[in-house]
Amino acid sequence: MRTTTLKLLSTTSKNTSFIKTLTAQSGFDYCGIAKAEKLDEDARRLEQWLNKGLHGKMQYMENYFDLRIDPAKLVPGAKSVITLLLNYYPEQVQREGAPKIARYAYGKDYHEVIREKLNTLLQQLRAEIGEINGRGFVDSAPVLERTWAQKSGLGWIGKNGNLINSKSGSYFFIATLITDIELDYESPMNKDYCGTCTRCIDNCPTEAILPNKVIDGSRCISYYTIELKDALIPSNMQGKFDNWMFGCDVCQDVCPWNRFSKPTNEASFSPLPAILNFTTADWEEMTEESFKIIFKTSPLKRTKFSGIKRNLHFIQQP
């Protein structure tokens, strides 16, 4: 029995080490692993958040509730949740005075970039370890990725709702890989290093950041400029967008922990020339045909040409 147990422990450690090495070679900046379990506490918080209507018109947030809180419903027999962070902080920024775009959208659509990395990872894991059941997720799936990142020791949830890493800040994409193999698990990050700082709360242009790490999604600039599909943005938001045309980085820009942010090494996230160089006039004169060509691989296509024009018109109104 003892020999069998030692062999299992040896295999678990070997597989864990292989995964850590492989994810680093794949370009991910951090890898943390947590035991797959049902997220009962998060279930209560999510239910309260939805009941208060803080998700606005994002009805998809109400879907697949059971899947969000139980990894075994996404991957039968799930034993481990691997969380991966990929830095997207750009070396260059937009020209002064241009309609502002959130930094995550400067380069190629991260969904495509990370999904390809996760698929390759799974193939390599199966080639090394054998037949394993696993699925990779990035943002668009019903996974509470920030909770899993915290549980695997990669950081804490800040007052702005973002995962914050003490060494690198918060400009990261979070990817999740759920598998049915036992691995060595990290200790969760149980400390909150935001302390008494309230910069994100004080500087949010639309007062979307509430106490106790609750975000009113229905007031967030990212919600209005990306998620909201209505033809018009509510007039009571007029003058509050601080020239943000697609997304918003204010709560990250003012966060002291982001003084540790360093430019990404991922070439796919290099800013498109148009993102860096377009003036307000360039955005105004852009046609739908040119939009589809220039931004065919960009996250900006999510809001479509009509959404960009709507947002541009809204932020320019007096």
- Residues annotated as part of the active site: 139
Own/partner long-range contacts of 201-204 (Cβ < 8 Å, ≥24 apart):
201/159, 201/160, 203/250, 203/251, 203/254, 204/160, 204/250, 204/251
* Residue 238: CB atoms within 10 Å: 12
Q: What letter represents residue 48's amino acid?
A: Q
In three-state form (DSSP H/G/I as H, E/B as E, the rest C), the secondary structure along 9-70 is HHHHHHHHHHHHHHHHHCCCCEEEEEECCCCHHHHHHHHHHHHCCCCCCCHHHHCCHHHHHC
Exposed / middle / buried, residue 201 (Cβ in 10 Å: 0-12, 13-18, 19+): middle
The tokens of 151 are what?
């549980």
What residues contact 261, with CB distance under 8 A and at least 6 apart? 87, 89, 168, 169, 170, 171
Cα–chain-centroid distance for residue 200?
A: 17
Closest alpha carbon to 225 in 120, 312, 318, 97: 312
Cα–chain-centroid distance for residue 172?
A: 7
In three-state form (DSSP H/G/I as H, E/B as E, the rest C), the secondary structure along 263-314 is CCCCHHHCCCHHHHHCCHHHHHHCCHHHHHHHCCCCHHHHCHHHHHHHHHHH
Residue 6 and residue 9: Cα distance in Å, rounded?
A: 5
